[in-house]
Amino acid sequence: MWKFIILFAAVFFIASAFMGLVYENRIASQIIKAGYIDQYISSHGVGTQKTFKKFVQQLRKEGYKINPGVEKILWEEIKKKTGYYQNSV
């Protein structure tokens, strides 16, 4: 009986983590498709940490629920679209 409970708990935690990742990717995709990333890039380029934090605050005001995982996905997308990776060593 205990083995079943432990196995169930492990599967539950793994499924919860996976659902969290799916949720983060879905929110980031919505933001990207809405054109917010392109607007940020046209205004700031890669920008600075300060401009990015302001951008994230604006998205929160728009009603998006942004956690650190979503922030990371958005930041990676900005770097990818601006060619940041091509310029780094």
Question: In tens digits, what is the pLDDT along the chain, a chain of 89 residues?
Answer: 888 888 888 899 899 988 988 999 999 999 999 999 999 999 999 889 999 999 999 999 999 999 999 999 999 999 999 887 665 54
Asked if 70 contacts 28 with a C-beta cutoff of 8 angstroms, the reply is yes
Instruction: List the one residue out of 87, 70, 81, 71 whose CA is nearest residue 35.
Output: 81
Q: Could you tell me the residue range of the domain that residue 40 belongs to? A: 2-87
Q: Number of folded domains in the chain?
A: 1
Residue reference for tokens 């990015």 = 52
Q: In angstroms, rounded to a whole number, what is the distance separating the alpha carbons of residues 38 and 33?
A: 9
What residues have CB less than 8 Å from 81, skipping those under 6 apart?
37, 38, 41
